[in-house]
Structure formats: structure tokens, C-alpha cells
Amino acid sequence: QVQLVESGGGLVQAGGSLRLSCAASGGTFRQFAMGWFRQVPGKERDLVARISWSGGSTYYADSVKGRFTISRDNAKNTVALQMNSLKPEDTAVYYCAAREGPSSDSAGRYAYWGQGTQVTVSS
């Protein structure tokens, strides 16, 4: 069973930066593609960014492209999301997710989830 634990959320002013981190345990990390999703109340959980098992392939939602960077360290079993130039519309609960095989845009294809971390961007 894979456990994922996010950290790094918080309150930041618009234009600021935050770095989210997700630590994985209980599985062979390099076997998993990883994704960061976010969710606001009353809406679906949407993909923010995803990364392949090797880190060689990444994908970003249009809304964060050029501002966010996903990365992973397979030696440390971690995946990170560097978020720059934050906007109030980035406010959400951010979730780390893992799946075996290729990364995917669909939340339903990820078997393992963290508990989420709140990111709040004030204007």
C-alpha cells in the first residue's frame, strides 16, 4: 500500500511563491507516475501537473503553464510542485496522486492519494 503525504501549503499573497512536496512510502516509487491535482468546494478535482516515472515527461494545465514546475526525486521518493506568480484563482486544496503505468490527466486513473494541503492566495 502506497502512502502519500503532502506538505508546504499555506497562505501567500498574489505574486508570491510556494513549494509543495509529496513524500511517498510503501511502494517502489519509480514505478509510479505522479500527478498534482487541485480542488475547490463544489467542483471536480482537476489536474495541475503530471510527471512520468522517470521524470522525463511532464504536462501542465494551461492555467499554470509557465508558472508551476513539477519535479521528482526517485532517490528520495518525493515529488514537488514549485508554484510561482500565484494568483487568487490558484486557491484550492492540492492533492498528490500516484498511479502505476503512464501518467494521466484523469483523477479516476490514480489509485493512491494524499490527504491534501490547502493553498490560499490573497489578492
pLDDT tens track for 52-69: 999 999 999 999 999 999
pLDDT of residue 39: 98
Checking if the pLDDT of 4 tops 90, the result is yes
Q: Are strands 46-51 and 32-39 parallel, antiparallel or unpaired?
A: antiparallel
Q: Which three cell numbers stand for residue 64?
A: 499554470
| Number of alpha carbons in the 13 Å side-chain half-sphere of residue 117 | 21
Checking if the pLDDT of 47 tops 90, the result is yes
Span 17-34, pLDDT tens digits: 999 999 999 989 999 999
The CA distance from 100 to 91, in Å, is 29
pLDDT of residue 1: 84
Average pLDDT score, the chain: 96
CB atoms within 10 A of CB 111: 12
The CA distance from 51 to 103, in Å, is 6
